[in-house]
Amino acid sequence: MPDISTPPSPAIVALVPMRHHSERVPGKNYRLFAGRPLYHCIVESLLACPFITGVIIDTDSRFIMDDAQRHFPHVRLIERPEHLRDGKISTNDILMHDVSQTEADFFLQTHSTNPLLRSETISRAVKYFFAHYPDCDSLFSATRHQTRLWDHQGKPINHNPAILLRTQDLPPIFEENSNIYLFSRKTLEQHHNRIGAKPLMFEIDPAEAWDIDNELDFQISEFLYLHRHKTLTP
């Protein structure tokens, strides 16, 4: 596999969409996380990645816009238009809007709710993508699971109940973890989707791949973050 030791050309712009309101964890995008707004973590990881040449925050939140202007003056802000503010609007529609206003051929989309994602992991994902491009047209991050899964009808998905294999011997199954999506402008515009016709799956360690959807996710992610930075109180 070829290695890429320097940032690729053309540029990669990172997109971070954030809504002001959140149903399951109120105000989670800007809620204090380890003493500062949650979204700061992912923005700092993106800014520290040498492969990312620009960061864009798309938001309808005046708080986030004002806070980002103070703390991240080099980050570009896009105020989300009214017709894209409903919670049921697809992220792909929001990305289409942002890409239409940005001069770049490649984009990396992530979320403020991925506070444990490291800049080193983002770099590895970029290298992995360009090592396979153009045979692949997009990349998404995933988490490996080796456990017995069942569907809603009580039918086994990835195992034979009559053969009790150890979980570590089960064939792995992968969860799209929403941490990293990497795609070209062409792929997004052709498919109206951040995942194209020939996607590449990029595995992330479960301890790093938390995506905050509920209160428990928030508490676990904060614990892991504090433990990583050795700031837990005894």
Report how far Cα 24 is from the mean position of its chain's Cα atoms. 18
pLDDT-derived band at 23 (thresholds 50, 70, 90) equals confident
The Cα 198–Cα 18 span in angstroms is: 27
Residue 52 has pLDDT above 80, yes or no: yes
pLDDT of residue 167: 87
Which pLDDT score is estimated for 231?
64
Is the pLDDT at 234 greater than 50, yes or no? Answer: no
E strands, the chain, are: 12-18, 32-33, 36-37, 54-59, 76-79, 106-109, 138-145, 173-184, 199-203
Residue identified by tokens 């529609």 is 93
Domains of the chain: 12-141+175-228 (3.90.550.10)
CA–CA gap between residue 8 and residue 19 (Å, rounded): 31
Torsion of CA 74, 76, 79, 85, to 10 degrees: -110
In angstroms, rounded to a whole number, what is the distance separating the alpha carbons of residues 214 and 217? 5
At 8, phi and psi to the nearest 5? -75, 160
Q: Is the pLDDT of residue 68 over 60?
A: yes
The sign of the dihedral angle between the CA atoms of 99, 103, 105, 110 is negative
pLDDT tens, residue by residue, 168-211? 888 898 999 999 999 999 999 999 999 999 999 999 999 999 99
Please state which of the ranges 104-108, 126-130, 140-144, 154-158 shows the lowest mean pLDDT.
154-158
